[in-house]
């Protein structure tokens, strides 16, 4: 199988790419070329998903991607009335429009060979909502609608589509977002039932399972991997 992981320079994306190295041919994208080089992937494509995707679309077609993991994401913390047009365009393009376009590019080959796996990395904020992160929450919520509709559309072609919704994950992006927010790390941990952050490797191992034949009956699902955060208090 030919697996593409977007946003693989660091964090969750890097953990996913590393975990899946033994499954097939790994292809990665990201903005940090030096980091992408060290993953050990079959090939990489340096790109910014908020900009021109023509090069990445060609990359997908040429490498016959049949497992697409849309991980790249953008996070902005702030009141809705402080968001400018550039912020809004960038976060929706990166988090929702780019994954949609990449799926559209990859699906013809999946249909042709009657097999494929699409995994979107969403967020628990797309399930529950997050004050002062309305752009992020709504863009991630959009992935769930896309997932459900495409699961129905592609089921007869043996292509599954699922979204993983991580809670607070121990990554540089998430730790920086805590610094930008109004709550301390200790206060956030107190709100998480398991009193811990999810590890990137947990998300990676769930991706590995969803790709496997054992998970062929799982499609159209939003799976919350959040240490109990989505259950309640």
Query: Per CATH, the architecture of 2-225 is what?
Result: 3-Layer(aba) Sandwich (3.40)
Confidence (pLDDT) at 175: 67
Counts of helices then strands in the chain (DSSP H, E): 10, 7
Residue 87 is given by DSSP the state: H
Residue 38 is given by DSSP the state: T
Q: Which residues are catalytic?
A: 136
pLDDT in tens, the chain (233 residues): 999 999 999 999 999 999 999 999 999 999 999 999 999 999 999 999 999 999 999 999 999 999 999 999 999 889 999 999 999 999 999 999 999 999 999 999 999 999 999 999 999 999 998 899 999 999 999 999 999 999 999 999 999 999 999 999 988 766 666 666 667 788 889 889 999 999 999 999 999 999 999 999 999 999 999 999 998 76
Closest CA to 173 of 45, 4, 30: 30
Residue 223 is given by DSSP the state: E
Confidence (pLDDT) at 148: 98
CA-to-CA distance for 63 and 190, rounded, in angstroms? 45
Confidence (pLDDT) at 173: 66
Domain edges within the chain: 2-225
Global pTM reads 0.94
């Amino acid at each position: 199988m030919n697996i593409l992981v977007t946003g693989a320079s660091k964090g969750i994306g890097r953990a996913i790419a590393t975990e899946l190295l033994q499954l097939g041919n790994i292809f990665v994208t990201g903005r940090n070329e030096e980091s992408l080089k060290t993953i050990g992937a079959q090939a990489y494509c340096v790109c910014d998903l908020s900009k021109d995707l023509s090069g990445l679309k060609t990359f997908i077609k040429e490498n016959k991607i049949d497992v697409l993991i849309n991980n790249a994401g953008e996070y902005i913390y702030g009141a809705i009335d402080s968001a400018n047009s550039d912020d809004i365009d960038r976060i929706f393009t990166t988090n929702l429009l780019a994954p949609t376009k990449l799926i559209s590019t990859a699906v013809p080959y999946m249909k042709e060979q009657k097999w494929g796996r699409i995994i979107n990395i969403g967020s628990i904020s797309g399930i529950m909502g997050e004050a002062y992160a309305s752009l992020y929450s709504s863009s991630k919520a959009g992935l769930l609608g896309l997932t459900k509709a495409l699961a129905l559309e592609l089921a007869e072609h043996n292509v599954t589509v699922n979204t993983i919704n991580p809670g607070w994950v121990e990554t540089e992006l998430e730790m920086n977002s805590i610094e930008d927010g109004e709550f301390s790390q200790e206060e956030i941990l107190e709100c998480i039932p398991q009193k811990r952050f999810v590890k990137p490797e947990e998300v990676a191992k769930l991706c590995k399972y969803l790709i496997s034949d054992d998970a062929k009956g799982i499609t159209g699902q939003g799976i919350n991997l959040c240490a109990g955060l989505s259950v309640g208090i």
